[in-house]
Amino acid sequence: MAGYFEPATSVPGGAAIALDEVEISILRSLAIQLLELIGPGEEPANGGDPLDELFAEGPSEPPSDPALARFFPDAYSGPDQKQDDDARAASAEFRRFTENDLRARKREDGLAVVKALDALTPAGDQGAVLTLTPDESRQWLGALNDLRLAIGARLEITDEEDGNGLYALPDSDPRKPMVMAYLWLGGLQESLVETLLP
């Protein structure tokens, strides 16, 4: 394995990747930061009815953080489009009933990454092999996508042309580590998608 996902031989439909200690540490740190960005879930109060959570309404305003705005965009307009009153009202209504579930799913995906990495035991320079089931692969794919969206927002990447300029950044540029993470995550994401294709 060359640092990218490949079909798992031991798990039908699964994926496997060899990760060294540094890669494990970076992925875990990024996943923890993703979880912090998404925020904690709303737990029912002690003795509260868990069904109340199912009917809880979410926020109606878009997030002010650019990364969260990419995770939870307005449903009835593009990122740079002005909304009329009808589109704004429809977006707010849609957000109220969907954002909590989206946040919960993104949180579950991020937690799946952290748990899988925590279960690995690197063997010195050899690292460790992470093997994912098809369901775990989908969770990882969601988390990798969210990580790239968050980093892309921080780097102010809005289209492919913005991304192309990243390759030419000098090593002295303070954005270089984020760029390297963004590109590496893109490679991981692409190789994981390929393992999921029939």
In the predicted model, what is the mean pLDDT of residues 168-177?
89
Least confident of 17-26, 39-48, 69-78, 115-124: 39-48
Half-sphere exposure of 68 (CA within 13 A, CB side): 17
Q: Which residues contact 132 (CB under 8 A, 6 or more apart)?
A: 8, 11, 14, 15, 16, 116, 140
Q: Considering the chain, what is the average pLDDT of its residues?
A: 85
In the predicted model, what is the mean pLDDT of residues 132-154?
96
Q: Rounded to two decimals, what is the model's pTM?
A: 0.84
- Of the chain, the percentage scoring pLDDT greater than 90 comes to 51
Task: Give yes or no for residue 185 having a pLDDT over 90.
Answer: yes
pLDDT value of position 79: 58
Highest mean pLDDT pick, 51-55, 66-70, 157-161: 66-70
Cβ atoms 1, 23 nearer than 8 A:
no
Secondary structure tally for the chain: helices H, strands E: 7, 3
> What 3-state DSSP class applies to 172?
coil
CA distance 150 to 31: 11
In the predicted model, what is the mean pLDDT of residues 90-118?
90
Task: Give yes or no for residue 179 having a pLDDT over 80.
Answer: yes
pLDDT value of position 1: 42
Task: Give yes or no for residue 52 having a pLDDT over 60.
Answer: no
Measured in whole angstroms, how far is the alpha carbon of residue 75 from the centre of its chain? 19
CA distance 125 to 123: 6
